[in-house]
Amino acid sequence: MSKGYSKNFWFMCASMFLFMTSFNLILPELNQFLTNLGGSSQKGLIISLFTISAGISRPFSGKLSDYIGRKKVMIIGILVCFIISTLYPLSFSVWFFLTLRFMHGFSAGFTPTGATALITDILPEHKRGAGMGIWGTFISLGIGVGQSLGSFIYQEIGISSLFMISAGTAALSSILLFSVTETLQNPIKFNFSLLKVSWKDVFEPSVLPAAVVMFLSAICSGIIFVLTPDMSEYLGIQNKGFFFGTYVISTILIRLFTSSVSDRIGRRKTLLIGMSVLFISMIMIGLAKDIYTYVAASIVFGIATGISSPTLFAWTADLSHVDRRGVGSGTMFIALELGIMTGSLSTLLIYDSTKSTILAGFLLGALMALVCVFYLFWHLKKRQSLT
């Protein structure tokens, strides 16, 4: 598996795993944390505020990664993650907690953007799909490990300790970056003029097809982030990160077998398969009546993610201009954040913290996956007609 990939690649994978673990550790318990502060009706804001600030920061992080370097942008994000995680235990009101959530999102706006640009630099073009599959596996591991361990840590040593462990994991992520070589040629020193962004720093037109699919599919993720902790509780599952713990196993296994599929049959055809499976998974999650059907649904969702996520990263890398890879990855992540925000905010309108309204949220996700399928089919036919 390691043949053809550099030491840079593996250190980056390990660093991103720890970064993703850091802010996912706390996610399963944030619904209850906010409820204890008196904000049970504001659960949808936990994800949406995080993604709004992440989206706002993408144009800045994308531009900076193309000028001052990928590593520096990553370190800024990790530093924000560390500081905010240490401040969560001081939350004394709903508004203070939600302010921290908004600030925390800047970490996700910086670190993955710089990391994706760096990974794109070092991956051989002919192995980009497979390489992104491995890269995505470490990201999924971080999400799954973080969310599956978060509730366990909380139950054993309390919420304040959970926040401190989250901060410590972010710190370990930054330590690994010291072994990574910067890939940007001739980086310049930071100056405040670099913070002036124009539309060309926000959006890279060449990656629009991948961004559309990312946005629509991320709506499903936003819904899942908000609803699965409560769904687990309704089904009598004590660990609120249970869904992600089981999903990550299937997404890793499927990537072992399918990571290079898009290199062989093409990005669009691979995404058609992934989005079709995503459609099925959203319906299965919403209809789950016991732990067994819930596990089956999470496995199917993991298969969908395992097929689609690395393919979207690889497609974005294919479409990005060499000298605008930072902006290209930033555009892709803006689409991701907008999708997650849309999905999480939709739960404020659909879900009223009762079991009877939870199905509607997942059916909305299924509809978005179906729109993805039609868009990809249209895009594939359009491309074929031009060749």
The reported pLDDT for the residue numbered 128 is: 76
The pLDDT tens digits of the residues spanning 346-368 come to 988 888 878 888 999 999 999 99
Cα 385 to Cα 368: distance, rounded to the nearest angstrom = 26
Q: What size, in residues, is the chain?
A: 387
Q: Name every residue whose Cβ is closer than 8 Å to that of residue 351 and which is 6 or more positions away in sequence.
A: 44, 226, 227, 357, 358, 360, 361
DSSP three-state, residue 290? coil
- Higher model confidence: residue 251 or residue 89? 89
pLDDT higher than threshold 70 for residue 3: no
Q: Are 378 and 230 in contact (CB under 8 A)?
A: no
**Mean of the per-residue pLDDT values of the chain:** 88
The pLDDT tens digits of the residues spanning 213-259 come to 999 999 999 999 889 888 988 899 887 778 877 888 888 888 777 76
Q: pLDDT class for 2, splitting at 50, 70, 90? A: very low
The reported pLDDT for the residue numbered 83 is: 97
347 token code pair: 């739960």
pLDDT higher than threshold 90 for residue 197: no
pLDDT higher than threshold 90 for residue 299: yes
Q: Are 133 and 255 in contact (CB under 8 A)?
A: yes
Cα 342 to Cα 10: distance, rounded to the nearest angstrom = 33
Domain ranges in the chain?
7-181+201-386
- Among the listed residues 340, 347, 359, 145, the one whose alpha carbon sits nearest the alpha carbon of residue 231: 359
- Among the listed residues 40, 54, 162, the one whose alpha carbon sits nearest the alpha carbon of residue 108: 54
The reported pLDDT for the residue numbered 40 is: 82
What is the average pLDDT across 175-186? 91
DSSP three-state, residue 190? coil
What class does CATH assign to 7-181+201-386? mainly alpha
The pLDDT tens digits of the residues spanning 132-152 come to 778 878 887 888 788 889 988
Q: Judge if pTM exceeds 0.85.
A: no
pLDDT higher than threshold 90 for residue 43: no
DSSP three-state, residue 203? coil
The reported pLDDT for the residue numbered 1 is: 41
What is the average pLDDT across 11-23? 94
Q: Name every residue whose Cβ is closer than 8 Å to that of residue 215 and which is 6 or more positions away in sequence.
A: 335, 336, 338, 339, 342
- Percentage helix, strand, coil, to 5, in the chain? 85, 0, 15
pLDDT higher than threshold 90 for residue 129: no
Cα 352 to Cα 158: distance, rounded to the nearest angstrom = 28
DSSP 2: -
139 token code pair: 């990201």
pLDDT higher than threshold 90 for residue 28: no
- Higher model confidence: residue 161 or residue 261? 161
DSSP 217: H
Give percent of the chain above pLDDT 70: 98
The reported pLDDT for the residue numbered 251 is: 85
pLDDT higher than threshold 90 for residue 262: no
pLDDT higher than threshold 90 for residue 12: yes
